């Protein structure tokens, strides 16, 4: 098949315009999230393209107007060959009025060797390359022994975890490749969990009583929840510094485990002592950490801090972790993902990359998060590998290099063909 595969790969260069046109068509679908609930037309297009390649289609609404699409292409001999999930998200980062786009965020343009438009890097470039790789393989008559499962999901930008629904729906494989923005590096990721820390008093006090709370002999056991929350913020900074000293992970810069006090809300108005304060934090973990364990560590630290304060000892903080949507319940979870460099699929992907680029593949850790952690959470070996530089993702005039998009597509053709024809042990 080597000669035939060389001919298939040559078609990526010969039909560059087709690949670029496919990406431009995907960008033209307006799928920013927030506001979300706008991917139905784009997902219908994706379902049609997969069906034309012989995939059996499963589609369902994660939210009204935001369906997942999963296509399954049965292999020629699936009992004896490896299966593969290709995963990407159709939603893109939000766009605000007044941004200085060259044309328009959803009016793609090709200039200076790059496709410009919202989602070009994050991550419609990956979706287009993966779909085109499968198209070229089919048109070239390539035999694929194992099953291919293509997942076009929603909700990644706002933590709505369309990929989690694919896992709970029963889709699994011997390996999953998330074709998200990685600049053609093979990556794992740390995890992210958001949380709310809440201080609340059962009593309210007039602003005029503040002197009695803070001066000698005042005799009033009360406090501002905002001021007490400030002690918790300082305590979280101490925990963050402790982690920077005591925790590490290969491929991650020191101190990558962070606790960001992102939003603070509290008080009623100027005539009240603040009886409630809510702190919204974002916590980054290393790839080998479970977010549940890290959340418990934060709770233990904050409760110990609170116990040393008379008012917080009587009014201890409460915690709410994660969520299903940054839009609906102001919370999200992205589990961490460790990549096993010794896994045969990782080795095969690295070899495909090296063949196409003439340089060794780089295996490292993404500085951001993707849906890849849901596969690790489900026990499915996985990695992130896709076109696009992270500095272009979410940026005005977001773009992806056409040359890199073609390299990605060719590497993926080699990998898909090689992995799906790898015999099971």
Catalytic residues, which ones?
91, 156
d(CA 210, CA 182): 54
8 A C-beta contact, residue 389 and residue 183: yes
Count Cβ atoms within 10 A of the Cβ of residue 172 and give its class: 0-12 exposed, 13-18 middle, 19 or more buried. middle
For 356-392, what is the HEC assignment? HHCCCCCEEEECCCCCHHHHHHCCCCEEECCCCCCCC
Residue with tokens 């909700």: 155
Phi, psi angle pair for 200, to nearest 5°: -145, 135
Q: By three-state DSSP, how is residue 266 classified? A: strand
d(CA 84, CA 145): 11
- Strand-pairing partners, residue 382, are 176
Phi, psi angle pair for 85, to nearest 5°: -105, 130
Count Cβ atoms within 10 A of the Cβ of residue 360 and give its class: 0-12 exposed, 13-18 middle, 19 or more buried. exposed
8 A C-beta contact, residue 206 and residue 271: yes
How many C-beta atoms lie closer than 10 Å to residue 285's C-beta? 27
DSSP summary character for residue 85: E
8 A C-beta contact, residue 393 and residue 93: yes
Pairing of strands 66-73, 363-366: unpaired
d(CA 419, CA 142): 13
**What separation in angstroms does the CA of 338 have from each of 163, 191, 287, 334?**
17, 10, 5, 13
8 A C-beta contact, residue 338 and residue 188: yes
8 A C-beta contact, residue 124 and residue 408: no
Cis peptide before 34 (omega within 30 of 0): yes
Q: By three-state DSSP, how is residue 167 classified? A: helix
Helix boundaries (H) for 247-387? 291-307, 310-314, 344-357, 372-377
């Amino acid at each position: 098949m080597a000669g035939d595969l060389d001919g298939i790969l040559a078609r990526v260069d010969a039909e560059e315009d087709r690949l670029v046109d496919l990406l431009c068509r995907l960008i033209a679908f307006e799928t920013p999230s927030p506001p979300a609930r706008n991917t139905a037309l784009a997902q219908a297009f994706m379902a049609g393209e997969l069906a034309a390649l012989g995939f059996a289609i499963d589609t369902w609404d994660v939210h009204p107007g935001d369906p997942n699409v999963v296509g399954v292409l049965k292999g020629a001999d699936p009992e004896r060959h490896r299966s593969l999930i290709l995963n990407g998200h159709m939603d893109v980062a939000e766009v605000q009025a007044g941004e200085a786009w060259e044309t328009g965020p959803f009016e793609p343009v090709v200039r200076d060797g790059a496709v410009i438009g919202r989602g070009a890097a994050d991550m419609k470039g990956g979706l287009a390359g993966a779909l085109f790789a499968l198209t070229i393989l089919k048109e070239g008559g390539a035999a694929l022994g194992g099953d291919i499962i293509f997942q076009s999901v929603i909700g990644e930008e706002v933590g709505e975890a369309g990929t989690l629904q694919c896992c709970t729906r029963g889709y699994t494989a011997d390996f999953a490749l998330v074709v998200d923005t990685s600049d053609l590096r093979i990556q794992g990721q740390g995890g992210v969990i958001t949380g709310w820390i809440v201080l609340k008093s059962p009593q309210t006090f007039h602003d005029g009583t503040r002197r009695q709370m803070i001066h000698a002999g005042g005799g009033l056991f009360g406090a501002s929840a905002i001021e007490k929350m400030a002690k918790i913020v300082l305590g979280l900074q101490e925990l963050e510094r402790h982690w920077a000293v005591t925790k590490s992970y290969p491929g991650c810069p020191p101190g990558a485990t962070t606790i960001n006090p992102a939003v603070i809300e509290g008080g009623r108005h100027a005539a009240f002592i603040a009886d409630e304060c809510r702190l919204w934090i974002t916590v980054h973990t290393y790839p080998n950490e479970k977010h549940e364990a890290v959340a418990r560590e934060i709770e233990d630290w904050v409760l110990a801090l609170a116990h040393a304060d008379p008012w917080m000892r009587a009014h201890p903080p409460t915690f709410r972790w994660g969520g299903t949507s940054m839009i609906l319940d102001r919370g999200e979870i992205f589990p961490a993902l460790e990549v096993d460099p010794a896994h045969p699929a990782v080795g095969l992907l690295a070899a495909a990359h090296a063949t196409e680029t003439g340089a060794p593949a780089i295996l490292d850790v993404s500085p951001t998060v993707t849906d890849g952690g849901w596969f690790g959470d489900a026990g499915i070996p996985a990695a992130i590998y896709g076109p696009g530089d992270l500095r272009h993702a979410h940026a005005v005039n977001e773009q992806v290099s056409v040359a890199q998009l073609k390299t990605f597509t060719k590497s993926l053709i080699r990998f898909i063909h090689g992995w799906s024809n790898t015999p099971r042990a």
